[in-house]
Structure 1
Amino acid sequence: MDHRSDQKRNITALYPPIEPFDQRMLDVGDGHSVYMEQCGQQEGEPVLVLHGGPGGGCSPMLRRFFDPEHYRAVLFDQRGCGRSRPHAEIAQNTTWDLVADIERIRIALGIDQFTVFGGSWGSTLALVYAITHPDRVKALVLRGVFLGTNAELDWFYRGGAAQFFPDAWARFIALIPEAERIDPIAAYNRRLFSGDTADEMRFGGIWSSWEHALASVHSDGSRVTAPLDYARAFARLENHYFMNGCFLESDGWILANRHVIEGIPTHIVQGRQDMICPPVSAHRLAEGWPRSALHLVPAAGHAISEPGITQKLLLIMDDLRNGQNSRRITAV
């Protein structure tokens, strides 16, 4: 097949649904087992897919950004979420545990280097993994950049985004006493880890709805519901990581260590109207990095399903497949 000719496929559309050729549970120690799958070509070019959250889990949609005739896509549910077990568990669940899990997966599969594809929290984990193991990363493709800083958490959980979605914010803090609203992350921590599963599910649903309601540029801030068991795990894991500064050694750790990965070709796809992870983080990450390309997508929010973001990610992966490295562009 001539991969430089896409006449047979609408390049703005996802690749057709695909089933994994390999699915397994990997014992990573500490009482955790993570679900892992491989899709596409068994001997194809490896790409590691990192989901968001923390706690989001993988979805079948994430398989469809990669030409199945070329790529060997590796997906896994990070500790405590999706099909990984134990569910919603925070013990021995840190950024550094996840980095170690990626290495276990790489070694188990006999892969020397990945292209690492991650969005939102997945972009954070991709960057931390690359800084820790730069020789194992062929390229980075990042979406909706989150650098794990206090400023980003202040924006989303301490009143910044509330200025644009006051109705959704009002629902988010409605059950939190006035005296605790100065730090909603800490307030939710007390409730998400109360030991009362029903109460944890209730507050997990509210926490998750706040984030999901702001994911799309088309959102009107309406309540977004998710299965309560999923919402509880998602909220507990996010809150656990955010209470601990994403387990990074210092605020701004990723930018302070960016020099380690400046030789890795990197594409950064960012919705210009992203209300969850504002574009300033993506801009700071790319600024002064010659081997990075920042793609600011107009009329797009945070979600990978935003049409402009989907299209740009597909084009980048097809360009990388074809051996092309797109020039720096700031809009599509």
Structure 2
Amino acid sequence: MDFSRLETSSKIGDGWRYPAAEPRRSGWLDVDAEAGHRIYWEEYGAAGGEPVMVLHGGPGGACSPEMARFFDPARYRIILFDQRGCGKSEPNVAAAGPAAALRHNDTPHLIDDINRLRDALDIAGPMHVFGGSWGSTLAMAYAIAFPQHCASLILRGIFLGSAEDLDYLYQGNAATWHEAPYALTAPGAYINYPDEWAELLGVLSVAERRDVMASYKAIFDMVPQTDAERERQLHAALVWSLWEGTISNLIPEHGATGKFGDADFALCFAQIEAHFFANDLFLEPGHLIGGASTLASIPVHIVHGRFDEVCPLTQASRLVAALRDAGREPATYVVTNAGHSAMERENALALTAIMDGLPPLR
């Protein structure tokens, strides 16, 4: 049979409107002398342009230059930065270990880091805040704390981080998987990714699968004493990372794991995510939806993939309903025929179109 006409990727590929570019300038900013944190940042686009603060996902996902391609470089001043513990920020989980890199690594500190970066880069007025997945969470938390700094929120793949949201991604049918691996006993991303789910659960014993996130966290918290323990910890981080990386795309790219299959990236990504998830994202339960009246004072633009298995569409639905209850429709609400990743073609094109269509800041 001829399968040559089948789609092999749902990513944007060469469909970008704006070209790849080098940063105009970059550097590190000391943000926490006590814990030793300094964050790495890059700036693209127009020096005098409208500022856009880009918040990456994960947590622990780090930025890449491709993230600057959503924005017209003649109009926008684009700021990317790696959040604490990941990417080029220091201390880095992979290089320095979790004890150093996870100290003071929480949502309130990340919010403070955004303000420190604003000040260091001489951003005095409101800015656009652009974030996807965990970046949408951090963007909303920041906007609730500092609405006066936000000209607009551009959010992709809404992540509210409730227990049910995390159970969908990591728990599913895990507790009974050993008895009936293909039984649809609970909602979950495992339904569409049974082979990848088997890899995720294969790291754990039957007893450990009763609480997948807690069991992975225990592996990540372990201080390895032997080569076997180090190997298990790295393998667990890679499997955790590849699970999310694979299911982020409508058409999984099994032959090209990208950053999710890189050992250093996986150690940062997996350990920082597990750290935040074990601590309820360092937010009070219901904080984001409870802050809808504040969010409603800001133009909120939402792009969400209908086939998002990392952050199912119901999370965007809950946010939109809360904004409406607060008396304001989202400025934009686009449901794409895409998965989770910002690099999915329809998500990337929708986000670019929103940025192109924003009214100029005065």
After TM superposition, the score normalised by the length of structure 2 is 0.83
Stretch deviating more after TM superposition (123-132 or 200-209)? 200-209
Q: How many Å apart are 1:163 and its aligned residue?
A: 2.0
1:108-257 map, 5 Å: 108-111=120-123, 112-159=125-172, 160-196=188-224, 197-219=230-252, 224=257, 226-250=261-285, 252-257=286-291
Please say if 1:65 is aligned against 2:78. Answer: no
1:106-140 Cα distance to aligned partner (Å, 9 max, x none) = 11112121100000000000000000000000001
- The amino acid that maps onto 1:16 is P
Q: Distance in 1 between matches of 2:128 and 2:67?
A: 15
Q: How many Å apart are 1:301 and its aligned residue?
A: 0.3
- The amino acid that maps onto 2:159 is F
Select 2:334's aligned residue among 273, 295, 302. Answer: 295
- The amino acid that maps onto 1:19 is E
Please say if 1:318 is aligned against 2:356. Answer: yes
Select 2:44's aligned residue among 39, 44, 60. Answer: 39
- Runs of 4+ aligned residues of structure 1 deviating over 4 Å after TM superposition are 220-223
After TM superposition, the score normalised by the length of structure 1 is 0.90
User: For residues 164 and 136 of structure 1, do their structure 2 counterparts lie closer, same or farther at Cα, with a shift above 3 Å needed?
Assistant: same
Please say if 1:76 is aligned against 2:88. Answer: no
SS in structure 1 opposite 2:63? Answer: coil
Backbone CA RMSD of aligned residues = 1.7
1:231-253 Cα distance to aligned partner (Å, 9 max, x none) = 01100000000011101112x21
Q: Distance in 2 between matches of 1:302 and 1:14?
A: 20
Partner of 2:112: 100
Structure 1 unaligned blocks of 5 or more: 1-10, 324-332
The answer on whether the counterparts of 2:302 and 2:330 sit within 8 Å (CA) in structure 1 is no
Partner of 2:315: 281
The answer on whether the counterparts of 1:124 and 1:146 sit within 8 Å (CA) in structure 2 is yes
How many pairs align? 311
SS in structure 2 opposite 1:183? Answer: helix
Partner of 2:303: 269
User: For residues 147 and 285 of structure 1, do their structure 2 counterparts lie closer, same or farther at Cα, with a shift above 3 Å needed?
Assistant: same
Alignment identity in percent? 42
1:72-116 Cα distance to aligned partner (Å, 9 max, x none) = 001100000000000112111001110000010111112121100
SS in structure 2 opposite 1:92? Answer: coil
Q: How many Å apart are 1:36 and its aligned residue?
A: 0.8
- The amino acid that maps onto 2:235 is R
The answer on whether the counterparts of 1:99 and 1:125 sit within 8 Å (CA) in structure 2 is yes
1:122-177 Cα distance to aligned partner (Å, 9 max, x none) = 00000000000000000010001101211110110111111221211111010201
The answer on whether the counterparts of 1:123 and 1:145 sit within 8 Å (CA) in structure 2 is yes
Q: Distance in 2 between matches of 1:123 and 1:136?
A: 16
- The amino acid that maps onto 1:235 is A
The answer on whether the counterparts of 1:158 and 1:183 sit within 8 Å (CA) in structure 2 is yes
Q: How many Å apart are 1:264 and its aligned residue?
A: 0.6
Q: Distance in 2 between matches of 1:271 and 1:98?
A: 26
Q: How many Å apart are 1:221 and its aligned residue?
A: 7.1
The answer on whether the counterparts of 1:263 and 1:291 sit within 8 Å (CA) in structure 2 is no
Q: How many Å apart are 1:200 and its aligned residue?
A: 2.5
Q: Distance in 2 between matches of 1:69 and 1:321?
A: 15
- The amino acid that maps onto 1:195 is V
Q: How many Å apart are 1:202 and its aligned residue?
A: 1.6
Select 1:309's aligned residue among 347, 351, 355. Answer: 347
1:40-70 Cα distance to aligned partner (Å, 9 max, x none) = 1111100000000000100011011111111
Q: Distance in 2 between matches of 1:223 and 1:165?
A: 17
